[in-house]
Amino acid sequence: MSSLSVHFLSPPLSSPTLAWRKTRHAATPAVAPVMEELDLARLETKVEEREGYWVLKEKFREGINPQEKVELEKEPMKLFMEGEIEKLAKMSLEEIDKAKVTKDDIDVRLKWLGRFHRRKHQYGRFMMRLKLPNGVTTSAQRYLASVIRKYGKDGCADVTTGKIGKYLGSPAEWNGQCEKSCWKPLAGIELHEMVDTQPYASLLSQFITANSCGNPAITNFKPRKWNHPHINGLAYMPALNDAKFGFNLLVGGFFSTKRCAEAVPLDDLIFVCKAMLEAYRDLGNRGNKTRMMWLIDEIGIEGFSSEVVKRMPRQELERASPEDIIQKAIGKERVSWCPSTKARRFSYAGLHIPVGRVQADDMNELARLVDTYGSGELQLIVEQNIIIPNIENSKLKAFSPGPPPLMKGLVACTGNQLCGQAIIETKARALKVTEEVERQMAMTRLVMMHWTMADIGVMGCMARDEKGKPCEGVDVYLGGRIGSYTHLGDLYKKGVPCKDLVPLVVDNLD
Which tens digit of pLDDT belongs to each residue from 452-464? 655 678 888 999 9
**DSSP secondary structure letter of residue 341:** B
pLDDT for the residue numbered 289: 76
d(CA 433, CA 477) in angstroms, rounded, equals: 16
Strand partners, 481: 487
262 backbone dihedrals φ, ψ, rounded to 5°: -75, 155
pLDDT for the residue numbered 179: 40
- Please state whether beta strands 136-138 and 47-50 pair in parallel, antiparallel, or not at all (unpaired): unpaired
Mean predicted lDDT score pLDDT of the chain: 77
SS3 of 109, please?
Answer: helix
Which tens digit of pLDDT belongs to each residue from 336-370? 445 555 557 888 888 899 999 999 999 999 999 99
Residue spans per domain, the chain: 2-37+181-319, 337-398, 405-509
Q: Please check the confidence at residue 382 and state whether its pLDDT lies above 50.
A: yes
pLDDT for the residue numbered 331: 47
pLDDT for the residue numbered 189: 73
Reported as a pLDDT band with limits 50, 70 and 90, residue 178 is: very low
Measuring CA to CA, how many Å separate 14 from each of 18, 365, 379, 491?
10, 33, 21, 48
pLDDT for the residue numbered 444: 83
Cα 130 off chain centre by: 12
SS3 of 310, please?
Answer: helix
Q: Please check the confidence at residue 291 and state whether its pLDDT lies above 70.
A: yes
One fold for 337-398 and 405-509: no
Peptide bond into 354 cis (omega under 30): no
d(CA 324, CA 401) in angstroms, rounded, equals: 33
Reported as a pLDDT band with limits 50, 70 and 90, residue 13 is: very low
Strand partners, 457: 450, 477
Query: Does domain 405-509 match CATH 3.30.230.10?
Result: no
Q: Is the CB of residue 164 less than 8 Å from the CB of residue 389?
A: no
Mean pLDDT throughout 387-403?
86
DSSP 342-380: SSTTEEEEEE--GGGEE-HHHHHHHHHHHHHHSSSEEEE
Which tens digit of pLDDT belongs to each residue from 263-287? 444 456 788 888 888 998 999 888 8
pLDDT for the residue numbered 106: 95
d(CA 458, CA 291) in angstroms, rounded, equals: 23
E strand or H helix that includes residue 102:
helix 100-107
Other Cβ atoms within 10 Å of 54 Cβ, number: 21
Reported as a pLDDT band with limits 50, 70 and 90, residue 170 is: very low
pLDDT for the residue numbered 458: 85
d(CA 215, CA 86) in angstroms, rounded, equals: 19
Q: Is the CB of residue 467 less than 8 Å from the CB of residue 473?
A: no
SS3 of 448, please?
Answer: coil
**With 0-12 CB in 10 A as exposed, 13-18 as middle and 19+ as buried, what is 398?**
exposed
Q: Please check the confidence at residue 180 and state whether its pLDDT lies above 50.
A: no
More confident of the two residues 364 and 290:
364
More confident of the two residues 419 and 500:
500
Mean pLDDT throughout 299-305?
85
Q: Give the architecture (CATH level 2) of 337-398.
A: 2-Layer Sandwich (3.30)
Q: Is the CB of residue 128 less than 8 Å from the CB of residue 170?
A: yes
Other Cβ atoms within 10 Å of 133 Cβ, number: 21
Farthest-apart Cα atoms in the chain, separation:
73
Measuring CA to CA, how many Å separate 155 from each of 125, 150, 358, 405, 446?
10, 7, 10, 29, 32
Q: Please check the confidence at residue 16 and state whether its pLDDT lies above 80.
A: no
Mean pLDDT throughout 487-491?
80
Which tens digit of pLDDT belongs to each residue from 197-239? 788 888 888 888 899 899 999 888 654 555 545 555 677 777 7
Q: 112: phi > 0 → left, psi -120 to 50 → alpha, else beta; which?
A: alpha
Which tens digit of pLDDT belongs to each residue from 105-115? 999 999 998 88
Q: 390: phi > 0 → left, psi -120 to 50 → alpha, else beta; which?
A: left
Cα 504 off chain centre by: 30
Q: Is the CB of residue 323 less than 8 Å from the CB of residue 435?
A: no
Q: Is the CB of residue 327 less than 8 Å from the CB of residue 62?
A: no
Q: Give the architecture (CATH level 2) of 2-37+181-319.
A: 2-Layer Sandwich (3.30)
d(CA 132, CA 178) in angstroms, rounded, equals: 9
What's the number of CA atoms in the CB half-sphere (13 Å) around residue 493?
Answer: 14
**With pLDDT > 90 as the criterion, what percentage of the chain qualifies?**
28
DSSP 110-169: GGGGTEEE-TTTSTT-EEEEEE-GGGEEEGGGGHHHHHHHTTGGG-EEEE-TTSEEEEEE
Least confident of 222-226, 388-392, 419-423: 222-226
Q: Is the CB of residue 267 less than 8 Å from the CB of residue 8?
A: yes
**DSSP secondary structure letter of residue 270:** H
Q: Is the CB of residue 251 less than 8 Å from the CB of residue 2?
A: yes
More confident of the two residues 244 and 365:
365
Reported as a pLDDT band with limits 50, 70 and 90, residue 498 is: very high
More confident of the two residues 391 and 11:
391
SS3 of 209, please?
Answer: helix
